[in-house]
Structure 1
């Protein structure tokens, strides 16, 4: 008995020592990263602030080595997946030539915690958030003396971004859509069919039956509920077995990126954990999912853009498959347009392949638009 207690005590002590070591490593990594991304130029800008937008306080992160450089407003995905705290990881190279503004949208991240009494049934909608974008752009234009800004959206952010560009083209110098949203359910169906075809070539009968059964449950739904989301998450995991490339950033590396980022605060961590829980996702009203899945179809909007339009997609992105984006791209008109496919990348090309991502953005803004 004493030997067992001795072994248990030794195991507990070893685990505690390991935890302390991991915490120390994370702390050191955060300090190193803080120095690595620190902006020290005389005319630079590194600011985290709250601005009154849409009658509530909303969080903005502003970073750039010269505040007179052109401004890029980044619209994060999700809905409800802010990424300002990891943005310096992939935008650091671009901060030499552009000032990046990352915004935690209402109901998301630090903006969420700053407005604890918000009514999430009445105070969150695409229309309200498009008005938020307009107020943010007015704020940025007045503060930095720029008539137009560059709008960059990712995934859900492209839903807002494309609508804003069509409504307020005079305020935008260019639009960049990353993982451009087209029609969510049609995109999921195409990814499902592609995975099924690949699995049939491998004669994976059990996999095919499991994926087919999951898709049947999803396709019968007409609104977003917990059952739908659980089946949807299951289907995404199944599809990923065939459609995810090995170069996409792994969940472990992603979590390491989160925890070692000097920009991640306790509020960011709390929201990350909160939003990953389905009960909390529904409780706190991040219900724009229903709009994305069942109401948004970009083909129902005008296709004659009055601003230059550029799409960036990972070659293994299945949310949506880039073939859908290419079809839509070919159907639109714009003063200038081009689609870029980043190799060895999925739905998050700026994380999977940040080097190529930055090169593409520079080609768009410096090479095609001569924005310096």
Structure 2
């Protein structure tokens, strides 16, 4: 019965994803990036729309599963969804042995190659960079260093690591565990200490999973948005789903690398429009550190907004709110058109 229901939902989602407009695009294939074959999907109803390059989170969590939820975005933007090395179909293609170098520097270089590929394939001068969660670590660096390639930067579930100076999210987790009477879990988190730069990959993973499962809204989002999107994705077989989850586990090695970053030291000057859209109730990447960083940023145009009633995965829990922000704040800036759908 469960598999039958899944099949029906996947069929309905597949129909929802059909692009029939005369100037639309729907293509996906492996492209040679950074010495390995990496999966790139390009979808949109009108090729004349602004082109978005999505940098997914995780690490290792491809955004392909969310396409049915974000289908309306493709009416207004051409969206490039790239499975980074270690993630999704890129990981599934050759397995762990085929991913080669797994470092943030390598992901950064890959992103520049993907950007060059998109500009050539779609014939555009600049692309709109939209980064969520772990992808926002690389996203900030790209936006800061390459305003000639990107028309604007949009961060959501924005990570602000800040050299581990801000331990408020860590302290809040300890408080939730204390209140829930989960002494064993609290002891494990307390033993890790607040300095994220000193955590191992296993500790980084434990922290993230504990945050997700101890906050009701985040846990509900994980079940109703993330897991359901995985289970009902028309683009993923059961074998694909297993590879997806294995890729996330494999990519956890990137977590501790990111924890050494200090975004303030790397710079707060951006020479392109800069936007942060954060879940108002996000406990994994809280809005307060993101807003403090935003306040320090200098940019030609900048804006900050909260996505209401949203935990982590804010843009996927409330894709309509996120689209409204993109259409009223971002698209007019990158196109010069008037505000409105």
Query: With structure 2 as the length reference, what TM-score do the two structures score?
Result: 0.88
- Residue 289 of structure 1 is matched in structure 2 by 255
Listed one character per residue, the Cα deviations across residues 280-336 of structure 1 (whole Å, up to 9, x for unaligned) are x3xx4641111123x122112111101111001001101221111111100010010
C-alpha displacement at 1:88, in angstroms?
3.5
Which consecutive residues of structure 2, in runs of 5 or more, have no partner in the other structure? none
C-alpha displacement at 1:39, in angstroms?
0.4
Is 1:163–2:129 an aligned residue pair? no
- Residue 319 of structure 1 is matched in structure 2 by 284
Query: Which structure has the greater CA radius of gyration?
Result: 1
- Residue 5 of structure 1 is matched in structure 2 by none
State the alpha-carbon separation in 2 of the partners of residues 285 and 81 from structure 1.
9
- Residue 200 of structure 2 is matched in structure 1 by 224
Is 1:145–2:120 an aligned residue pair? no
- Residue 29 of structure 1 is matched in structure 2 by 9
State the alpha-carbon separation in 1 of the partners of residues 147 and 326 from structure 2.
20
Listed one character per residue, the Cα deviations across residues 41-83 of structure 1 (whole Å, up to 9, x for unaligned) are 1111111211111121100111100123211000000111112
C-alpha displacement at 1:255, in angstroms?
2.5
- Residue 90 of structure 2 is matched in structure 1 by 111
Is 1:46–2:23 an aligned residue pair? no
Listed one character per residue, the Cα deviations across residues 346-371 of structure 1 (whole Å, up to 9, x for unaligned) are 11112221111111111122344445
- Secondary structure of 1:176's counterpart equals strand
Question: For the structure 1 residues 112 and 272, does the alpha-carbon distance in structure 2 shift closer, same or farther, using more than 3 Å as the test?
Answer: closer
Q: Number of residue pairs matched?
A: 335
Aligned residue runs from structure 1 range 91-110, under 5 A: 92-110=71-89
Listed one character per residue, the Cα deviations across residues 76-110 of structure 1 (whole Å, up to 9, x for unaligned) are 001111121322312x2121121000000011111
- Secondary structure of 1:62's counterpart equals strand
Question: Contact conserved, 1:304 with 1:334, CA < 8 A, in 2?
Answer: yes
- Residue 305 of structure 2 is matched in structure 1 by 340
Is 1:261–2:245 an aligned residue pair? no
Question: Contact conserved, 1:175 with 1:308, CA < 8 A, in 2?
Answer: yes
Question: Contact conserved, 1:344 with 1:352, CA < 8 A, in 2?
Answer: no
Which consecutive residues of structure 1, in runs of 5 or more, have no partner in the other structure? 1-20
Question: For the structure 1 residues 102 and 323, does the alpha-carbon distance in structure 2 shift closer, same or farther, using more than 3 Å as the test?
Answer: same
Question: For the structure 1 residues 365 and 275, does the alpha-carbon distance in structure 2 shift closer, same or farther, using more than 3 Å as the test?
Answer: same
- Residue 11 of structure 1 is matched in structure 2 by none
Question: For the structure 1 residues 239 and 139, does the alpha-carbon distance in structure 2 shift closer, same or farther, using more than 3 Å as the test?
Answer: same
Question: For the structure 1 residues 238 and 152, does the alpha-carbon distance in structure 2 shift closer, same or farther, using more than 3 Å as the test?
Answer: closer
Match of 1:178 among 134, 156, 177: 156
State the alpha-carbon separation in 2 of the partners of residues 79 and 205 from structure 1.
29
Question: For the structure 1 residues 130 and 27, does the alpha-carbon distance in structure 2 shift closer, same or farther, using more than 3 Å as the test?
Answer: same
C-alpha displacement at 1:114, in angstroms?
2.1
State the alpha-carbon separation in 2 of the partners of residues 352 and 145 from structure 1.
32
Question: Contact conserved, 2:130 with 2:155, CA < 8 A, in 1?
Answer: yes
